[in-house]
């Protein structure tokens, strides 16, 4: 299955759960709460807080968020930028996400459009942004350099970018263990397209640095940082995995898949005595200018 197809599925499910959560959030697992936790975590980890002061904001900036999904993170990001911004544009390859984002977070100055960052960019967007952001999206690209080049072309001269990409993560290792079994391999053909190209990469920061340098970016700062996320229980982790059911697991085998997922996590000694599950993972931050 293609990476993009996977994303379309992932976000269709995400939006479905998001809508569902309005009505039954008190009774069952709710994706919204996971997302909020994830965002809080993101903020707790101070990634944004650390980088926002380093950004040389331009006056009345035009800001782009690539891979905006349902717009919830874009909406949070829009509170971090100077409030005299001219426009904030979120873009995503998934038209359903964009529709949802516009309906929920769109305003006169905040808009969302469908755009595949790996495809040729529309002429009217060329060199039109002062600041470009992208969080946890660009490691899905089949040809990342094409995406990075497009970002360069979207920026005005002197414009600035800040990106967060996923690198090493126990999620990938657990999925890989399951993928190697006779039982799950037939249902996980998409594994190869799902895993971040920077997961098994020895020096992902150096690889990314070289790509950006070759394109012509300057003042490049690429850092690989270790983060920790504690799932409060194995059930919480199960629910998170279920909500982003990326693979073609037959419905009647889904509980078994989740059980095996947790068993692998246990074998990897990720489950603590209090039944919480601690994931240490790496993210890559990229901050540079055109
Ligand atoms: C994991 S989500 C991240 C969403 C949001 N930025 C966040 O931090 O929660 C990745 C998003 O990237 C989008 N995406 C994947 N490939 C893309 C592409 N080639 N062009 C634009 N968006 C893409 C997906 O549709 C998905 O919405």
At 252-290, the pLDDT tens digits run 999 999 999 999 999 999 999 999 999 998 989 999 999
In this structure, the residue with its CA closest to atom 20 of ligand 1 is 116
Residues 158-200: tens digit of each pLDDT? 999 999 998 888 988 999 999 999 999 999 988 877 788 888 8
**Residue 109's domain spans which residues?**
3-289
pTM for the full predicted model:
0.81
For residue 132, the cross-strand partners are 64, 161
Cα separation of 256 and 99, whole Å?
A: 35
Mutational pocket test of ligand 1: of 65, 95, 140, the residue with most ligand atoms within 8 Å of the beta carbon: 140
CATH number for the domain including 252? 3.40.50.150
Measured from CB, residues less than 6 Å from any atom of ligand 1 are 4, 7, 11, 66-69, 73, 92-94, 97, 116-118, 135-137, 140-141
Residue 90 contacts residue 110 (beta carbons within 8 Å): yes
Tally of structural domains, the chain: 1
- Distance, CA 72 to ligand 1 centroid (Å)? 12
């Amino acid at each position: 299955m293609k990476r993009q197809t996977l994303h379309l599925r992932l976000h269709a499910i995400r939006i479905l759960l998001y809508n569902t959560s309005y009505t039954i959030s008190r009774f069952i697992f709710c994706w919204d709460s996971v997302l909020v936790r994830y965002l809080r975590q993101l903020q707790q980890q101070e990634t944004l807080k650390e980088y926002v002061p380093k950004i040389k904001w331009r006056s009345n900036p035009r800001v782009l968020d690539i891979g905006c999904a349902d717009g919830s993170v874009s909406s949070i990001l829009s509170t971090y930028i100077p409030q005299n911004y001219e426009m904030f544009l979120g873009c995503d390859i998934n038209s359903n996400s964009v529709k949802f984002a516009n309906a929920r977070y769109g305003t006169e100055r905040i808009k969302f459009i469908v755009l595949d960052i790996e495809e040729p960019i529309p002429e009217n967007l060329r060199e039109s942004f002062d600041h470009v952001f992208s969080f946890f999206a660009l490691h899905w690209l089949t040809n990342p350099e094409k995406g990075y080049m497009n970002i360069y072309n979207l920026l005005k001269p002197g414009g600035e970018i800040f990106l967060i990409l996923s690198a090493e993560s126990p999620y990938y290792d657990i999925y890989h263990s399951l993928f190697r079994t006779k039982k799950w391999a037939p249902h996980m053909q998409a594994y190869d397209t799902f895993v971040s190209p920077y997961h098994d990469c020895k020096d992902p920061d150096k690889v990314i640095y070289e790509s950006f340098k070759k394109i012509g970016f300057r003042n490049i700062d690429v850092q690989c940082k270790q983060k920790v996320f504690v799932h409060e229980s194995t059930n919480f982790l199960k629910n998170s995995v279920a909500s982003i059911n990326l693979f073609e697991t037959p419905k009647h085998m889904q509980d078994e898949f989740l059980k095996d997922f947790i068993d692998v996590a246990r074998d990897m000694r990720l489950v603590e005595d209090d039944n919480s599950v601690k994931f240490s993972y790496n993210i890559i931050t990229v901050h540079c200018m055109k």
